[in-house]
Amino acid sequence: MRADARYPGCLPPHDAGRMGAPRGAPTMIILSVVPLFAVILLGYALRKTAFLSSQTVGQLNAFVYYIALPVTIVLELLPVPLSEVSRVELILGYPLIVLVTAALVLVIALPVPREQRGALAQVSYRGNLAYFGLPIISVAIGPGSLGFIGILIGIGLVINVVLSIVILTILGPGERRSTVRGHLAAIATNPLIIATMIGAVGSLSGVSLPAPAHRALALVGQTSLPLVLIVVGYSLSFRGMRGRLGLGLFGATVKLVLMPTIALALMAWPFGATGMARDVVVLMAAMPTAAVSQSFAVAFGADEELTAAGLSLNNLLCMVTVPIWLVLLQGPLAT
């Protein structure tokens, strides 16, 4: 298949009508993601004005999580040769980035109390890959990136859950075997991981859907982008920032600045990644902390206030840092 001229060696977008911003055009790159953050702020406004109830948004979130996002991942992986998206920089690169970031934070935070150390580590490496990464990167870079994104979501969810369980169990207040078992079991039933596996198997076997079925599923998948952004905005909370502002700011800086810098360095060496694959990995590393970190902090007895502060600062500051990373990757740091 013909390679994408903007990203040599990568497949072209499946839908030529949905292109990302041209490389080397900072204003256009920023303008391509501004509408996404505007929809996130709309979601926040819908909560503040009580236009949508928490029950309604909970139902929308369930639809996105169990149906729309999995459908999107499967549809984007099916037509792409698995060799194009199952690269070593994806399979090994992203887990290595997470492990290096977590290790650095745990070493730097040795003077910090144990329960705060675990919370700080989570805030620093556990990115919101599906709800932030998928919509922002697919729009900014183009739909040709969705195959890479789908693989990284599956890999990232597994490494994030397992590493969080290990760190929070070691640094937690006591025995929580039932909690550990429950979270590990949830990996096997996670709809996004299942969708990644289905898409990968379908890609390997060369399965293609009948045109009517593909069109119907595509319509369902297309609802994921606006709905996921509204759900993210609705869930934004800036409570708890004052109590743990210093550590929360440190965690947000690591997540939004240091982790993607580590990703950029590791993609250059030892992986030698370039083009779209490199950009997607770095941008995934630049996504803010996942909201599920809060429930893990509660379940394992980590510092809930620090987790909340880190989440709030991540969500706030990423509106500045993500566009900067996009401009750098498609401008001065372009490969």
The domain locations on the chain are 26-236+243-329
Higher pLDDT, 165 or 11: 165
Q: Are 273 and 209 a contacting pair, CB within 8 Å? A: no
- The identity of residue 141, as a single letter, is I
List residues bridging with 4 in a β-sheet. Answer: 7
Kindly report the three-state secondary structure assignment for every residue of 55-79: HHHHHHHHHHHHHHHHHHHHHHHCC
Q: What percent of the chain has pLDDT over 70?
A: 89
Residue 210's alpha-carbon distances to 76, 166, 195, 214, 215, in angstroms, are 15, 44, 19, 6, 9
Residue 222's alpha-carbon distances to 10, 18, 145, 146, in angstroms, are 23, 12, 16, 13
Query: Residues 254-302: pLDDT tens digits?
Result: 999 999 999 999 999 999 999 999 999 999 999 999 999 998 998 888 9
Q: What is the CATH number of domain 26-236+243-329?
A: 1.20.1530
pLDDT band at 49 (very low <50, low <70, confident <90, very high): very high
Look over the chain and give the mean of its residue pLDDT values, rounded to a whole number: 87
DSSP three-state, residue 23: coil
Instruction: Specify the pTM.
Output: 0.87
pLDDT band at 17 (very low <50, low <70, confident <90, very high): very low
Phi, psi dihedrals of residue 127, rounded to the nearest 5°: -85, 155
Mean pLDDT of 88-114: 95
Question: What local confidence, expressed as pLDDT, does residue 14 receive?
Answer: 42
